[in-house]
Amino acid sequence: MASHIVGYPRMGPKRELKFALESFWDGKSAAEDLEKVAADLRASIWKQMADAGIKYIPSNTFSYYDQVLDTTAMLGAVPERYSWTGGEIGFDTYFSMARGNATVPAMEMTKWFDTNYHFIVPELGPNTKFSYSSHKAVNEYKEAKALGVDTVPVLVGPVSYLLLSKPAKGVEKGFPLLSLLSSILPVYKEVIAELKAAGASWIQFDEPTLVLDLDSHQLAAFSAAYTELESALSGLNVLIETYFADIPAESYKTLTSLSGVTAYGFDLVRGTQTLELVKSAGFPAGKYLFAGVVDGRNIWADDLATSLSTLQSLEAVVGKDKLVVSTSCSLMHTAVDLVNETKLDSEIKSWLAFAAQKVVEVNALAKALAGQKDEAYFAANAAAQASRRSSPRVTNEEVQKAAAALKGSDHRRATNVSARLDAQQKKLNLPVLPTTTIGSFPQTVELRRVRREYKAKKISEEEYVTAIKEEINKVVKLQEELDIDVLVHGEPERNDMVEYFGEQLSGFAFTANGWVQSYGSRCVKPPIIYGDVSRPNPMTVFWSKTAQSMTSRPMKGMLTGPVTILNWSFVRNDQPRFETCYQIALAIKKEVEDLEAAGIQVIQIDEAALREGLPLRKAEHAFYLDWAVHSFRITNCEIQDTTQIHTHMCYSNFNDIIHSIINMDADVITIENSRSDEKLLSVFREGVKYGAGIGPGVYDIHSPRIPSTEEIADRINKMLAVLDTNILWVNPDCGLKTRKYTEVKPALTNMVSAAKLIRTQLASAK
């Protein structure tokens, strides 16, 4: 019985790639140094899977930024503004597309389906010229082969690539991107030919858009694409991989009818109905089914007995020799290796499996199907599952009762937002177009050192508090010098906003090295929610009061919202997600009320990940949005009208949920806008009325580029064309923690100058 891994984490067990990338970007190391680190990581990953007994090992899943950008490079689909003149795409052009440079902005970045991973959105149009411009897929296949590992090269499928793209600037919004299929397939054919010549016997096309709600025209594109590729693929075994959700019946029918395809991969963790579809609709004779039974998106140890039973039921449908055990999706969404967690509680650790352990689980299931079951391994797994089910630390009856009592109320504030904004303005006395930032300020080397030494108990609590107070004072003074209206304390005490809150909530566990890539070199360390959640003590009140005491200007209290904490954590899978979210909402509610009691007049409850958690199928949207929006309202339903509630969202497409955003009933929302070419504004041009305060971001903080005053002023004027003056705020797209002060100071100076310029123009026009 064979085994397969869809993809593997890229950063390395100790984030080796992250540090190599940042060193290269900072000019401290050469391209050769970066390439050496990458090659060593790839070799280690391939060897690990080969040693574990995996038969179908992926290659070309490694990336310096993301796999969609790699495909853009492969196709030579570089926007004109990057002045690329042809040939093999190098790091300069590649990273300019991802991060921008001194003269041109980056391409749009958005979430990869419903994950916290991001990708760079291709910009295409009728004049886009395609050419084979990155040989990465072939080079990595050859690299693995030279190491004695025969891999399955992985490509983003041609139809999914186009469906994930957008019309380039200046191209009609309704431009049919699928019309470019005939233009990109010749490049795919060249890649396929080179892979065949290099000795590849299998090729994997990731076509995850097949799990979305597709129309007949979109489904026809899959048939057309693989019919066109059939002769090029002759002699190769072809796997079409899907993941993240159930595959709809019509898509299943299209997929299993594709020309020249040998195997189909399904997510059977999030796609429970797909299992029934395979059984009821039938499976093509002689084809392989790659059964994704091991969860690639969470860190819980697989219930091996249950998975084995599922696999055995599939054997009867597809045949024993045509069933391949796989992960539900790429393992890049999990942490790397549990072996690195030497301080994690032993009981909780026994419940977990990171990427390295999931590779072992996949192979153990494959061997068990083949009649070589490791009885001791399965027994240990069963004992761990039983331990988790019966552990008293998982359940808190008081929390469960409080969450159950939430039913029957929608938890709205008593006064409408217009009246609240009037009451808040009388108290805050803000100018037209008030300026603010989103929360974090640059995380300097010195600041990271202080936090690291405090955690390691190398400095005392008193020394730590003094150092953090000094950092807050520096950030406050800088904002006053810049003349920003509503201040933040810069979050110097926080390495990661979700981890920071999780560390102070019950029901959470934490890893030392459980890093997961979010985008580029940005890694996050999601906390693990293993039990019922509550807030034993105030979490941010001390620091918010300290910061407010340093200034007469309003100081925002900074919190992470319940939906974002949920979506950016590894969540328990033994109860519905909404139940866990309601528990977190009650904990945040206590913190909001304590901040208000401490005199904080503006409280920001970030819901950066609310859109991210939206199910991929439209039929499931309403239920999710109902409990997600309700959870946010719970957090602030009992505060005074004069306390201003902000929320923040970033790097997703919000236009399709704008009415749910309005239904959150926040007083002010700040939202990413500039990097997505002001896509957000289109919803207001189309007639949506928004009565609360709103701050569409005026510049992209994920790029080192510093926007001019004139550029920001132009953005503000575009906003004023569709939004009322009295509700518009001026702010960056997101927090500033990933930037340097040499970038932040001039960018914020220009932002404030632009706001003042427009204020003057508005005043003179009266």
Q: Which of 4, 489, 646, 702 is catalytic?
A: 702
> What does the chain come to in residues?
766
**Strands 57-59, 151-156: pairing kind:** parallel
Say if residues 414 and 637 touch (Cβ distance below 8 Å).
no
Residues forming beta bridges with residue 152, ordered by sequence position: 58
Binding residues for 5-methyltetrahydropteroyltri-L-glutamate: 18, 116, 522-523, 568
Cβ count near 690 (within 10 Å): 17
* Residues 222/258, Cβ–Cβ less than 8 Å: yes
Binding site as annotated, residues for L-homocysteine: 438-440, 606
Residues whose CB falls within 8 Å of the CB of residue 490, separated by 6 or more in sequence, listed in order = 439, 440, 441, 471, 472, 475
**What burial class does residue 757 get, using C-beta atoms within 10 Å of its C-beta: 0-12 exposed, 13-18 middle, 19+ buried?**
middle
Q: Which residues are annotated as a binding site for Zn(2+)?
A: 648, 650, 659, 672, 734
Beta bridge partners, 670, equal 648, 695
Q: Quote the CA–CA distance of 89 and 65 in Å, as a whole number.
A: 14
Tell me the C-alpha distance between 274 and 248, whole Å. Answer: 8
Written as six digits, the tokens of 42 are 């790839």
For residues 195 and 236, what is the distance between their CA atoms, to the nearest angstrom? 10
The span from the CA of 550 to the CA of 462, in Å, is: 19
CB 566 within 8 A of CB 618: no
- Chain-centre distance for alpha carbon 108: 14
Q: How far apart are CA 426 and CA 598, in angstroms?
A: 20
Half-sphere exposure of 142 (CA within 13 A, CB side): 11
Annotated binding site: 18, 116, 438-440, 491, 522-523, 568, 606, 648, 650, 659, 672, 734
The DSSP bridge pattern shows strands 506-509 and 528-534 to be: antiparallel
118 is catalytic: no
Question: In the 8-state DSSP scheme, what is residue 4?
Answer: B
Using alpha carbons, select from 406, 399, 394 the residue that is nearest to residue 536: 399
Q: Given the structure tokens 């055990």, which residue do they identify?
A: 325
**Binding-site annotation: residue ranges for L-methionine:** 438-440, 491, 606
Task: Give yes or no for a contact between 643 and 423, defined as CB atoms under 8 angstroms apart.
Answer: no
As given in the structure block, the two tokens for residue 345 are 């509680």
Catalytic residues, by residue number, are 702
